[in-house]
Each structure stands twice: as structure tokens, then as C-alpha cells.
Amino acid sequence: MDQEFLEKLKYENPIEEVMRENGIELKRTGRGFMCLCPFHGEDTPSCSVVPGQGYYHCFGCGAAGDVIAFTRKYRNLGFMDAVNYLAQRAGLTVPQSSNVSDRSYKRRMRIYEMNKAAAKFFRAQLKTADGVRCLRYLMNERKLDAATINKYGMGCAPKSFTSLRSYMMGLGYGEDELVEASLLFRSYKTGKTYDFFMDRAMFPFIDIAGNIVGFGGRTLGDDKRKYLNTGDTVSEEFHNSGGKMEPDGYSKSRFVFSLNYAKDTSVKSGKLLLCEGNLDVISLYQHGFTNAVASCGTALTPEQVKAMKTYAEEVVICYDSDEPGQKAALRAVSLLRQGGVGSSVIRMEGAKDPDEYINKFGEDHFRYLINNATDGFDFELEVFARGLELDKRTDKNKFLKKAYSSIACEPDITARDMMERQLADRYGVSLNVVQESVSEAIKQIERFKENTEKREEMKKYYAAEEIVPDNKAFKAERGLIYYIYYNSDTANEISRQISPEEFTDDFNRRVYVSILGMINVGEYVTPEALLEEFSYEEVERVKHFLEKYSSLNVDRAVAEDYILSIKNYNQKRSRQNAEPMSNEEILRKMAELKKNKI
């Protein structure tokens, strides 16, 4: 991160202002302030804040640092999340490491800006006739109070095809970007745009830095789609990078609903309560279970597990009590284990989901469920045994194979050892047999991973492969592109020697023009920067031939030869097209064809 920017970020975010905005009461003492430390309980102020130095220090617990350190610790954020939070507060743009990253950042900020405006619109609709119907649903049917509705920023999408569209376009936003942000959808038949959310109770999706990244909507009518969520708004650049770039929008496979509220409680307790639905989470929050989260209408993913692991050591799975919910719980236990997170599963009777249960039986009963939740591995063993008669050898063997595979997914050796001993003792199997079987299962998993990686590499390779013409000009064009890619200071001179029109291959010509254009405007050229004009497969193709030419020692003299080869090829082709074949050439050609046919 650029040091000059960090200094400006601190200057534009006075530490005393940021602390006050986060609810910390500061009392003036000389040139600075004192306050109760926000990081440990105390009755007498021991935390000193020095505005002139942009610094805080607690003499009680030792917590200290600048405004970035305070934001990270107080809001439980990573470094870049804290930087982005403070940058947005001050209206600054975070410098990016590449042009692609810069475009991604600007696009992300634009989406957040549109979502914030849309959230304001949905909120205002609660005062309309449609909004009253929505409030009646939330307060009477779902038993939510006004404080909870306000806390989660809930609103209403009116029963209209164009209300949000008119509002957002009135603010100056364009149809295309609203479609891209999943606030409008475009009809495939007519090309016209309509509101994405209609006649629904709305729930903003807020990330841990406080940005509204998308929305969820619960139907108020008879729409068969009971819940509708924002479509993925991350760009192709993010998808094509294999998810390695910072997401520039909402991704359902990464987002965890209410983690922004749950993280503070979970950091202290070490636990998160994982639900299936948004309303389950909101209902639990209202009843004092502030560490509840949901995976937003999608099956749990490894990316979501990774997000939760940052704030909790254990996840208590509170999925629906029906068969689909229990199957989802079984899968969640496995994913959490693979992600290095402990798990347990609650057992609900007399209610389908946590929302219904807590409203029916109360907080104490639900707390009892949490405190007596079944350990994740025990839950798996119970599920594996269902429908089997374990006194039969074949059934027991089926059961044990599933158990071995489950244990093999545990990354921690100590935990794995305890699981092996538990299985051996409980089901009368030799510990050596269990250990050997688990070791074999681990090898199978590793082989599967290796084969998967190889398949992915092969897919990438074939995506980059192409049928190329066997002529010197085509190869010379690729070599010339390689040369200007790595020697941008010579690009202008090279472009004067050979024009794009002289290129014999259309794809090579497009790449040549694109790279020259980026160099001319001072942009840093990377394969990723080409994604604005080329598909992922095409960029992979460029990467492939750049790598291929890297072993050929292409210098200026070789580049000059490439230019000459292209020009000679064009001249030769021009003469062939201009001059008709002589009788002798026609006879010779016919003889060659006849010979080849024989």
C-alpha cells in the first residue's frame, strides 16, 4: 500500500472523530482526550487519545495504534477492509496496483452507491400502501419489532414494474449499469427494462465494512419464487481470475448474511449460529442471539466457511428440521471440517426452522438447543447409520467407509486421532484398521485433488490452444507483439515501421492495436488489462504465446527480422493475387494434384 496515501488517509480521518462516530465518549484532558477503553472493561478512563499524533493508547490493556489500527480492532476488520472503510468515510479513492484493479474498485464503489440509493427508496416505501402491507407482514406474521426492522434496514419493493427504475434513472443512473447491478432486469424479448424486485419485503445485504452489496426480497404475494436475491454482480475479470482478485460486487458464494453484526459477538464467544434463511437470522438477533448468520439462499460454500473462520472457531448449524435441511447440515459439517472450523448441529422438534421455534418456545428453549447441540462428527455418524442394520457385516462396512472418508477430511491430526479412536471404541473396530483405512481415504482424496488440478490445467491449456497457420508472417506477428509487450518504449517506433493493416491475422492485429493503444495513453500493459476488449479464452491465448516466445530471446534485431518477414509475406501474396498463372504453372499444378490423389 502506498505510504503517501496512508498518510493522507489518516489526515482525512482524525482519530478522535472516528472514535466518537463509533460511540466512544472522549473527555478533554490538556492537549488530548481520555476515555474508557473500548477493548476491555473498566470503570476509570485509562485510554489516552492524542489527536496531534493521530494515536491512541490504553494504559490498562496495552491496546495502541493509529486510526487504521483502531478501526481494525474495534470493527473486527482486516487491513484492506479498514482502509476501504476509512477511504469511503473521507471520500478518497484507494490506489490500486493495476489498471484492472482500479477499474474494479471504481465499479464496486459505483454498485455500492446505487445500492445505497435503492435501499433509501425501499425504506421510503414503508410509508405507502404497499409498505403498510409489508410492515403488517413483518410485524404481525414474522413478529419483528420496529427496532429490528430499523436495525436491518428493511424496506419494501412496491407492486410495480417500474417504480425503482424511474427513481434511480431520475438520480442519473443509466439502464445498463442498473441491470449490471441487478436492480433492473432486461427482457430478452423486447429489450425493455423492469424492476428486479417487485412486491417484496426487502433486506439489504451489508458486508463487514458496512457497504450494501445487494438485496434479498421475500415475496408479499403469490410469486412461486418465495425468496429472490441479487444476482452475482462481480465482473468477468473476477470470475476469470479464479476468484483471486478482490470481488468488485456481490457474490452469493462468498457473502454471509449478517456477519457484519455477528462478528463482534462471535469474536468474543468463538461461536457463530448458521441458519438457512435471512428471517431466521433476524428473528434470532431480535431475541438476543446476535451471532447468527445465513448463507443467503445458497448451499454453504468453502468461501463462506473461510469468511466465518475469521471470526469464529465453531459454527452451530441451525438448519431446518426437515429432510432437505438435515442433508444440507450434513454437507455443512463436512465443509466446515475441511475449512478447519469446528461444528455442532441443533435438534429442533415441534418447529420447522429457528424463527418458528423461538417464537413458539422462547429464548431459553433455543439456548438449551445450542448448549446441547450434537457434535458435528457424532451427527454425521448418526446420519450414516440411518437405514442400515449395523449388526450386518455388509451394512456395517458401508457405514464405516463413510466414516473413514469423513475423518480423512479433518485437517488437524490431533482431532483426526481422537475421531479415529472414537470410531474404533464405539463400533468395535481395531484402531490399526481404522487408522490404515483413514490413511487410504486421505490418499484417495489427494489423488482426486491432483486429478482435478490436472483437469483444470488441461482445460486451461486447450482454451489457450488454437489452430495456427503455418507461415512465417503469423509467427512473426506473435513475436513482434511479444517484443512491444516487454519493450513498451520502442512501441511508437515499431508502429511507424509496420501498421496494423499489414498484419495477416485478424486476432494478432487486434492484440497489436490494443497494446499500442494502452502504451500510447500511458497504461501499464498486463494480460488482465486486455480483458476489457477480449474474452477470457482470448486472453489465455495471449498468455500462452507470450510464454512460448519468452524462451526465444527476442531482441531488437529479431524484432526487425519479424517486421521484414511480415512485409515480404504481404508482397509475395500481393504478387500472387495480381499475376494470373501461366499455362505451364496450371499444368504443373494439375500434375501435383493428380499425383497426390493417386
In Å, how far are 2, 25, 299, 348, 594 from 353, measured between CA atoms? 48, 41, 16, 8, 80
Which residue has 486472453 as its cell numbers? 539
Cross-strand partners of 34: 27, 48
In Å, how far are 243, 479, 525, 526, 560 from 556, measured between CA atoms? 37, 11, 19, 21, 6
pLDDT confidence of 598, banded at 50, 70, 90? very low
CA 512 – CA 485 distance, rounded (Å): 9
Structure confidence at residue 281 (pLDDT)? 96
* Residue 483: partners with Cβ closer than 8 Å, 6 or more residues away: 490, 494, 554, 556, 558, 559, 562
φ and ψ at residue 264, rounded to 5 degrees: -65, -40
Model confidence pLDDT, tens digit, residues 130-183: 999 999 999 999 999 999 999 999 999 999 999 999 999 999 999 999 998 999
Structure confidence at residue 248 (pLDDT)? 58
pTM, full prediction: 0.66
Cβ atoms within 10 Å, residue 387: 8
Query: What secondary structure does DSSP assign to 375-401, as a single string?
Result: EHHHHHHHHHHTT--TTSHHHHHHHHH
φ and ψ at residue 227, rounded to 5 degrees: -115, 140
Model confidence pLDDT, tens digit, residues 15-25: 999 999 888 99
CA torsion 408-270-426-411 (nearest 10°) is 10
CA 488 – CA 241 distance, rounded (Å): 25
Helix (H, G, I), strand (E, B) or coil at 54: coil
For residues 318 and 288, the answer to whether their CB atoms sit within 8 Å is no
pLDDT > 50? residue 592: yes
Structure confidence at residue 580 (pLDDT)? 60
φ and ψ at residue 257, rounded to 5 degrees: -65, 130
Structure confidence at residue 168 (pLDDT)? 97
Greater confidence (95 vs 429) lies with 429
For residues 3 and 39, the answer to whether their CB atoms sit within 8 Å is no
How long is the chain? 598
Greater confidence (474 vs 267) lies with 474
Which residue has 466446515 as its cell numbers? 336
